[in-house]
Amino acid sequence: MADMLLKVDDLAVRFGPIQAVKWVSFTLQKGRTLGIVGESGSGKSTLLWALTRLLPDAATLNSGEVWFDGMDLLRQPPDRMQALRGTRISYISQDPMTSLAPGLTIGQQMIDLLYREPWSKREKWQRAIDALDWTCRGFVLPKCSFLATFRSKTTGLFQLNAEWQRRGL
């Protein structure tokens, strides 16, 4: 299917004797959104770690296939996966309070994600500011929030920051 972005078939992950993910299958069409919902400990994060090939050493991928835009992700070499992560494949942690480094400014974290881009530091800052402006349209946010550390944000802005990550990154 030409419009298939992601296909996961019978994915299973174990941590020793514990079956953390049991034969998960789903498809995602280009331009669509998929939410992964479940109780704490139900395997949501483990599933996403498996999709991005970032499983901890204690985990074992028992079975399954993961196809992304026609590529078999489970058979890609590590350097190819590293190039895909953060450019074509990424995910946002379920807890927006832990999604950003609390001691760094939001702006610096956005700039850090652009390290592969050939733009000057000034261009990277401008693109990051533009992305934040686009994400925050409809919200009244001072420009200084871009330079504030994530730790200094009020609870109400955590969801906004998670949305900023979803759209801007």
CATH of the domain at 82: 3.40.50.300
The token duo for 154 is: 């009020």
Is residue 121 located within the same domain as residue 65? Answer: no
Is residue 20 located within the same domain as residue 71? Answer: yes
The angle formed by the CA atoms of residues 44, 46 and 52, to the nearest 5 degrees, is 105
pTM: 0.58
Is residue 12 located within the same domain as residue 87? Answer: yes
The number of distinct structural domains making up the chain is: 2
**Stated length of the chain:** 169
Distance CA 124, CA 131 (A): 10
**Torsion sign across C-alpha atoms 96, 102, 107, 112:** negative
CA dihedral angle for residue 90, residue 94, residue 100, residue 106, rounded to 10 degrees: 80
Say how many C-beta atoms besides its own lie within 10 A of residue 42's C-beta: 13
Q: What string of pLDDT tens digits covers the 169 residues of the chain?
A: 568 999 999 999 999 999 999 999 999 999 888 888 777 788 888 999 899 898 988 999 999 999 999 999 999 999 999 888 878 887 766 565 555 666 667 777 777 777 778 889 889 888 887 877 776 665 555 555 555 554 444 445 555 555 555 554 4
Tell me how far CA of residue 158 lies from CA of 98, 124, 151, 163, in angstroms: 10, 23, 10, 9
Q: What is the pLDDT of residue 96?
A: 53
Last residue of a domain, one of 74, 91, 108: 91
User: Using a CB cutoff of 8 Å and minimum separation of 24, what contacts does 42-48 make?
Assistant: 43/13, 44/94, 45/93, 45/94, 46/13, 46/15, 46/20, 46/21, 47/11, 47/13, 47/21, 48/91
Is residue 78 located within the same domain as residue 8? Answer: yes
Is residue 105 located within the same domain as residue 143? Answer: yes
Provide the domain limits for residue 153: 97-168
The token duo for 65 is: 């296939």
Instruction: For the chain, list the strands marked E by DSSP.
Output: 4-15, 18-29, 59-68, 71-72
Distance CA 112, CA 116 (A): 9
Is residue 9 located within the same domain as residue 86? Answer: yes
